[in-house]
Amino acid sequence: MNRAYFIIVKVLPSGADPPHNYAPPGATGASLLSTVDLTQDNFEDVIQKNAMVLVDFWAPWCGPCRAFAPVYEAASAQHADVVFAKVNTEDQQELASAFQIRSIPTLMLFRYQIILFSQPGSLPGSALEDVLTKAKALDMDMVRKEIAEQDTTV
């Protein structure tokens, strides 16, 4: 495993393992092969109720964000088991601030409410595919164990 891709940043509150591909009622753009628009109102619900969520923090005026959008959409079509979500940092400033987004685009990957990947900048399609493949292959019991061990040494 290439640990350069996976940085465990933060653990959200635990709960039962969520089903795949849940989008809250009324979520804009919600479907298996498209992106879900996240807001402060639905963010926690989407993260809690899905096994894996890839979040793209972006803004409409951001050139690199617009250039990355087709790569992101193409990946969503190939990974029906992952919820692809977007946070418009202009409209959702409190949410962007809560995750300390300083540069856009920023990608953040959650698996069972654990942030496995967080990186500013867009990725080429092959690198995004690599991140998703490696995240799916991770033994989450081992990840939780490592987190628990880190918490006891702090």
Domains and CATH numbers, the chain: 35-153 (3.40.30.10)
Q: What percentage of the chain has pLDDT greater than the value 70?
A: 77
Q: Which of 2, 34, 8, 12 is nearest to 131 (CA)?
A: 2
The tokens of 142 are what? Answer: 């081992």
- Which DSSP category does 103 fall into? S
For residue 17, is pLDDT > 70? no
Q: Which of 117, 138, 142 is nearest to 5 (CA)?
A: 117
Q: Band of the pLDDT at 19, cuts 50, 70, 90? A: very low
pLDDT in tens, 58-89: 999 999 999 999 999 999 999 999 999 999 99
Q: Band of the pLDDT at 104, cuts 50, 70, 90? A: very high
Q: What percentage of the chain has pLDDT greater than the value 90?
A: 72
Active site residues per annotation:
62, 65
Surface-to-core class of residue 58, CB atoms within 10 Å of its CB (0-12 exposed, 13-18 middle, 19+ buried): buried
Give yes or no for a contact between 72 and 49, defined as CB atoms under 8 angstroms apart: no
